[in-house]
Chains A and B, each alone.
Chain A
Amino acid sequence: MEQEKQGFLDFAYQLYKTMKTNEISLVYEGEVTQEITKTFTSLTEKSLSKNAESNTVQKKVFNVMVECLQNISKHADSLSDEEEERRGIVMVSKGDDSYNIITGNIIKNERVPGLKESLELINSLDKQGLSNLFKQQIKESTISEKGGAGLGLIDIAKKTGSKLSYQFKELNDQVSFFILTSTIKRNA
């Protein structure tokens, strides 16, 4: 019992140290709802403005967080079909010259190729190409029943001006874990 307690304290301290070293300001694992989205974006907004980050960067970070979180709350799959919750991990870190927003969620394997294709297309385009794709998609897409317009990833790429960095880790023959890293340059 004592040992277990000590183990937990060590873990908490290690976590604290890792977060400090990497300037991670937010880590979360759990259900992602609109309430969570609002809370996290407002927390991050406050901490950015405390750090005297430029308006432009603040807005971009806010923007990208909303799209990342709403992607999870609308599109994340679950480990099993009985589970209804849309869960994910969210992490915000500050580097010397950029902010990273890292999100991860479960996705059904059958949806991976389609998502990969969209990501590859987005990463192949320059600013003008992204703008054209956005205009084309916004005209053609009708709001899906979940309320998403499929525009989130294009928007993130447009606003960050960085390539989307992503990974799929296959968990079993049903589902994978999808990790997306969005980078916002601080001198933008």
Chain B
Amino acid sequence: MEVINIKGTDDTPNVILDKASGQFELSGRSLPEDVNQFYEQILDWIDEYAKDPLDRTEFNFKLEYFNTASSKIILDILLKFEEIVENGKEVIIKWHYHEDEEDMLEAGEEYADIVEIPFDYIVYTD
């Protein structure tokens, strides 16, 4: 599968989707005005990946900030991985949050309430 490696900007996140090396990561900031335009290729890639996923997928979310429009898309991403879980493969969400950022931890917990995927919460300092 092709590798997606997008470098973040001040309003879009870093994205790494690499099946061969097993790296799945969304980090940085996500506050684009047009979230659909930015995330379209990412959602398409995941749809493709879901047809033949790894036995175990570890997805790292290390977001510093995301707007509410992005929060809906993040749920869409998680729902796609939930389907992979339903199809019998293992998926783990590694949800990173800064120690000063309880809001980011809570955001992760809210997603964990909605989707049936195990979440690991990882605190970082700087």
Q: Which of B13-21, B30-38, B52-60, B116-124 contacts A (4 or more CB under 8 A)?
A: B30-38
Are A59 and B103 within 8 A (Cβ)? yes
Confirm or deny: A174 has a beta carbon within 8 angstroms of a beta carbon on chain B: no
A-B contact count (CB 8 A): 73
Size class of the contact patch on chain A: 20 to 34
What is the interface size of chain B, counting residues whose CB is below 8 A from a CB of the partner? 25
Tell me whether chain A's interface is mostly helix, strand or loop, or mixed. Answer: helix
Name A's B-contacting residues (CB within 8 A). 34, 37-38, 42, 54-56, 59-60, 62-63, 66-67, 70, 73-74, 131, 134-135, 138-139, 141, 143, 147-149, 151-152, 154-155, 158-159
Are B68 and A42 within 8 A (Cβ)? no
Q: A34-B11, A135-B114 are in contact. Are A147 and B35 (CB under 8 A)?
A: yes
Tell me whether chain B's interface is mostly helix, strand or loop, or mixed. Answer: helix
Confirm or deny: B106 has a beta carbon within 8 angstroms of a beta carbon on chain A: yes
Q: How far is the CA of A56 from the CA of B104 in the complex (A)?
A: 10
Nearest residue, chain B, Cβ from A127: B106
Q: What would be 17 A-B contacts, judged by CB atoms less than 8 Å apart?
A: A34-B11, A34-B32, A37-B33, A38-B10, A55-B100, A56-B100, A59-B100, A59-B101, A59-B103, A60-B103, A70-B31, A70-B69, A138-B72, A138-B75, A139-B75, A143-B36, A159-B103
Q: A42-B10, A54-B100, A59-B101 are in contact. Are A131 and B68 (CB under 8 A)?
A: no
Nearest residue, chain A, Cβ from B70: A149
Confirm or deny: B67 has a beta carbon within 8 angstroms of a beta carbon on chain A: yes
Interface string of B21-35 (1 = CB under 8 A from A): 000000000011111
